Structure 1
Amino acid sequence: MADGSRVSVAVLDVDSGETVSYGDGVFVTASVVKLDLLAAVLLRAQDAGRELGRAERSCAAAMIVRSDNDAASALWDDLGRAAGLDAANARLGLTETEGGDGPLWGLTRTTAVDRLVLLRQVFGADSVLGAASRAYARDLMGRVVPEQAWGVPSLADAGTGWGVKNGWLPRDATGLWVVNSVGRVTAGGRAYLVAALSDGNATKERGVARLEEAVRTAVAAAEGPGPRAAGAGRPPRPGH
């Protein structure tokens, strides 16, 4: 884009299985990595044949529903930081996500396509995650506090549910914002999994507006007539 910002969007039509994607490149996750952390903790519990413990459940709920950073840091450390996250993500089929250095889980790097892989593990039936784990993750994503229900939920048909995890982060070196949104939504009567990543935004608000416009454009392309291959259609327009 002319101002140096970037946007990458990947959309899966749940009913048809068709995918539309725009933009490429690797992006910092900010808080959308909290969905990875949740999946990793759930996998660990499954492996041990147990439910999440009280502390795990408390941290999981806080980091998804309220995007609590201290809760995410506690689970990040408990999992073994990047090594633990990367091992879990490999089992989930993610190939383009790499955990952040040291305590910096928010600087995990990923792609929109890999975010879609994770969403399919959470919202699809063919998943490494068991049915109870998927239901738990979906429930938390559907209870995100109202002030964080931007991005993917902006597309939702009236009266329909949605699930989301957003991320936002000003970069110290530039002061520019990372703004990301991933989740499931019903739009135009059809269910979609949506992953949208952006960086180089002058403000968080501008990033949210640009991201929501890019997501609307991608979903409109997925709704279009005829079969759509990945990358088909027109690119997202820049925000105003």
Structure 2
Amino acid sequence: MRTKRWAAVAAAVPLLIATPALAEAPPKVPAGTTAGYVVFDRVAGKIVAHRLAHRAFRSASVIKILIAIDFLERTAKPTVRDLATLKVMLRSSDDDAASALWDRGGKGKIVTRMARKLGLADTSPPPAAKPGFWGYTSLSAYDVARTYRYLMDRADAKVRDLVIGHLRQATPCGTDGFDQYFGIPRALPKPWAVKQGWSGFGAVPPVRCSPTGAGGPLITPQSQARLPLVPDLGRPVLHTTGLVGKGDRLIFVLLTAHPAGGRWNDSVKRTTTLARDLYRSVSM
């Protein structure tokens, strides 16, 4: 029903899907890993690579982009404190900052507002039983690509410049101590602007990224086990999304779910390799 509800809206600002012209073969997804991706060429005005584009994943920290857009579009004059909260949320993926803005915006109502406004057919709020779990939002690679298109083509310049400006300065470390330079930052050439997402690897990274900061705990696989409406419960997810290339030519979205109990380092390696091979497969 969700797809039908937003189908008419989504059709109003379509992402044109075309058969990609490939420089190399499409990336091979490892057994046990689920990957959905969309690469949109802003110069050509079409999708040049896609796989499981409408498959729902739990958002993890990728939802922080929608939280930021919603807050900025509803707040005429953000305070200095507001701007500092947005900065650490977007650059260093700070969970406490996201939770503060999530609560102020009405929790799942943020997702509902943004899905309607942007025409996100595959995006829905967390289950009613877990309203504070913003990382349990469901979304697809297609919808994340639409979100970046909205920022670049339709959003007010002040909103675009603030959000994308922070994503251009994404820090190597999240404030929870995890290394967030997997995927795009490690595999693709600069320039890029990125928003990463990870969930299901526990609260403590195997090797703490440096420099470090104070952040909220990640959602563990144990805490996910009772929510059957959330995609890939019990499986860790790792997402790498953003703008790539001169003039922000490519919108690059890669969402991945890994085998249950999968280790951080192995999942990072798979995701980074997929990002590299996907980028190489796209002819520019």
The TM tier, using the shorter chain, reads 0.7 to 0.9
Counterparts of residues 112-191 of structure 1 (less than 5 Å): 112-122=141-151, 124=152, 126-127=153-154, 129-147=155-173, 148-157=180-189, 160-170=190-200, 171-172=221-222, 173=225, 176-186=235-245, 191=249
Counterparts of residues 219-230 of structure 1 (less than 5 Å): 219-223=279-283
Gaps of 5+ in 2: 1-28, 174-179, 201-220, 226-232
Q: Secondary structure at the match of 1:223?
A: coil
Is 2:36–2:254's contact at 8 Å kept on the other side of the alignment? yes
Mark the CA change 1:105 to 1:60 in structure 2 (over 3 Å): closer, same or farther: same
Is 1:36–1:89's contact at 8 Å kept on the other side of the alignment? no
Moved more, 207-216 or 108-117: 207-216
**Alpha-carbon deviations, 1:40-77, whole Å to 9, x = none?**
111212xxxx2322232122111111111111001001
Mark the CA change 1:91 to 1:162 in structure 2 (over 3 Å): closer, same or farther: same
Q: Secondary structure at the match of 1:51?
A: coil
How much does 1:198 deviate? Answer: 0.8
Letter in 1 for 2:32: G
**Alpha-carbon deviations, 1:146-187, whole Å to 9, x = none?**
232322223443xx4311111111133376411011101118
Tell me how large the CA RMSD over aligned residues is: 2.1
Is 1:13–1:222's contact at 8 Å kept on the other side of the alignment? no
Q: Secondary structure at the match of 1:103?
A: coil
Whole-angstrom distance in 1 between the partners of 2:42 and 2:126: 31
Whole-angstrom distance in 1 between the partners of 2:30 and 2:164: 37
How much does 1:11 deviate? Answer: 0.4
1:40 and 2:70 are equivalent in the alignment = yes
1:105 and 2:137 are equivalent in the alignment = no
Whole-angstrom distance in 2 between the partners of 1:185 and 1:216: 12
Which residue of 110, 125, 140 maps to 1:84?
110
Mark the CA change 1:69 to 1:168 in structure 2 (over 3 Å): closer, same or farther: same
Mark the CA change 1:163 to 1:13 in structure 2 (over 3 Å): closer, same or farther: same
Is 1:7–1:198's contact at 8 Å kept on the other side of the alignment? yes
Q: Secondary structure at the match of 2:249?
A: strand
How much does 1:88 deviate? Answer: 2.3
Is 2:35–2:255's contact at 8 Å kept on the other side of the alignment? yes
Is 2:124–2:138's contact at 8 Å kept on the other side of the alignment? yes
Structure 1 match to 2:37? 9
Q: Secondary structure at the match of 1:146?
A: coil
Is 2:187–2:273's contact at 8 Å kept on the other side of the alignment? no
**Alpha-carbon deviations, 1:77-125, whole Å to 9, x = none?**
1000011322123212222111213100011111111110011122x2x
Whole-angstrom distance in 2 between the partners of 1:51 and 1:194: 31
Whole-angstrom distance in 2 between the partners of 1:33 and 1:142: 17
Whole-angstrom distance in 2 between the partners of 1:94 and 1:176: 24
Whole-angstrom distance in 2 between the partners of 1:2 and 1:67: 27
1:56 and 2:82 are equivalent in the alignment = yes
Taking every aligned residue pair, what percent have the same amino acid on both sides?
A: 26
Whole-angstrom distance in 2 between the partners of 1:108 and 1:206: 25
Letter in 2 for 1:26: A
Structure 2 match to 1:227? none
Aligned length: 214
Larger relative strand fraction: 1
Moved more, 100-109 or 195-204: 195-204
Whole-angstrom distance in 2 between the partners of 1:190 and 1:35: 17
Structure 2 match to 1:229? none
Structure 2 match to 1:236? none
When normalised by structure 1's length, the TM-score is 0.81
